[in-house]
Amino acid sequence: MGAKTGYIVGILAIIFFVSVAYLSLSKTRSTDSSLGFENLCSKNGDQWMVMEPWKDGKKISSQECAGCMIADNHFCTAEEYIAYIKSLPTLSAQETSRMMEHIAMLAHGGYQNSVNIHMYNVQFLRELLPNELAFNITEAGRPVTDMEIVHDKIMHLILVRSDLKYFDHIHPQQIKPGIFSVPYEFLAPGVYRIWADFTIDGMQHIVDFDLNVSGKTLPEMDKLSGINVRLNMLEKITIGKNTLIFSVTDTNDKPLAITEKFLAADAHMIVIDESLEEFGHTHDEDFNKDNILSFEYKFIKSGLHKLWVQFSVNGKERIAEFVVQVNE
């Protein structure tokens, strides 16, 4: 599967999950037409925009209109919008929450300086490399300032070299309206991909860019400092949903309980395949203070994948790395 095809598959999956998640929210939506179409759309948390009308992911006219976007539908009239809401099934709050976790928008910037994603433009400020990683995010030319805090940060930045040997997970801050930046020093030259992960109005956005880094290789710090992490697999890893369980022990192979949170979770796991097409970021949220870290993850393609498991012990970030084979 080529990079372009991989992203198309990802976008189609996103459309599906967005549609299902929106279906599940119908119970909470208002159908009070007295509010006016635009106010009703806003009250329900849907997007008011000017574009062609769409129905079930298909454009039904080339004539643009001001209307309400819900899932993969854009309605030009309040009557159509309300009728659609009334036709939706409902799910339990627990099912709704689980569905919403899958909602994300993806965009691949490559070596471009900017890329559009959803309603936003993300510009990678390459002129500040290699000492600073910075992004300018705008909506219709206006700076974006309303990012949500997710796992203690407004933006998560994942960096991986193309050979998967160098990895980092850092967090830009907003230094001025629409500008998000973090100082950075690369440990080794090479080709890198950077994923910027941020959330606005409950919608996760993931944008990636590629860059070439020159310079000399610097020494790396010990990422585990004597701590042992073991992947406990009873079955082969396959495409689809898998449960990955890791055990943490000390230098004497005794269980080492994880008693402190790392970025508001028991642990984080980053998943990237060898072609850099599949990117995943999931969490162990249980925080039961034992030595077991457990993650649910749905692999979308076969082949070699690299896993980075991040957690905290004695106030220090620890990173365990694994290479796994995903089977058909």
Contact yes or no for 269/244 (Cβ under 8 A): yes
Residue 222 lies in a domain: no
Is residue 76 located within the same domain as residue 108?
no
Question: What span, in angstroms and rounded, lies between the C-alpha atoms of 75 and 37?
Answer: 10
Residue 219 lies in a domain: no
Question: What span, in angstroms and rounded, lies between the C-alpha atoms of 155 and 122?
Answer: 13
What is the CATH classification number for the domain harbouring 281? 2.60.40.1930
DSSP string, 150-211: BTTBS-EEEEEETTS--EEEE--EEEETTEEEEE---SS-EEEEEEEEEEETTEEEEEEEEE
Is residue 116 located within the same domain as residue 204?
yes
Question: What span, in angstroms and rounded, lies between the C-alpha atoms of 78 and 30?
Answer: 12
Is residue 253 located within the same domain as residue 313?
yes
Q: Which residues contact 24 (CB under 8 A, 6 or more apart)?
A: 89, 90, 91, 95, 96, 99
In the chain, how many domains are there?
3
Residue 93 lies in a domain: yes
Residue 254 lies in a domain: yes
pLDDT of residue 95: 42
Is residue 295 located within the same domain as residue 317?
yes
Residue 14 lies in a domain: yes
Range of the domain at 164: 104-213
Is residue 95 located within the same domain as residue 110?
no
Is residue 133 located within the same domain as residue 202?
yes
* pLDDT tens for each residue of the chain, 328 residues long: 333 333 433 443 443 344 434 433 444 678 999 999 999 988 887 778 888 888 876 778 888 899 998 877 899 999 999 998 888 765 444 444 344 444 578 899 999 999 999 889 999 999 999 999 999 999 999 999 989 999 999 999 999 999 999 999 999 999 999 999 999 999 999 999 999 999 998 888 999 999 999 999 988 888 898 899 999 977 799 999 999 999 999 989 999 999 999 999 999 999 999 999 999 999 998 888 999 999 999 999 999 999 999 999 999 999 999 999 999 8
Residue 300 lies in a domain: yes
Residue 221 lies in a domain: no
What is the CATH classification number for the domain harbouring 185? 2.60.40.1220
Of the three residues 69, 99, 129, the one that is the final residue of a domain is 99
Is residue 70 located within the same domain as residue 157?
no
Of the three residues 178, 213, 248, the one that is the final residue of a domain is 213
Is residue 18 located within the same domain as residue 48?
yes
Residue 269 lies in a domain: yes
pLDDT of residue 22: 41
Residue 57 structure tokens: 């992911």
Q: At 9, which helix (H) or strand (E)? A: helix 3-24
Of the three residues 99, 120, 144, the one that is the final residue of a domain is 99
Q: Which residues contact 141 (CB under 8 A, 6 or more apart)?
A: none
Is residue 236 located within the same domain as residue 144?
no
Is residue 208 located within the same domain as residue 116?
yes
Is residue 91 located within the same domain as residue 120?
no
Is residue 114 located within the same domain as residue 206?
yes
Read off the pTM.
0.70
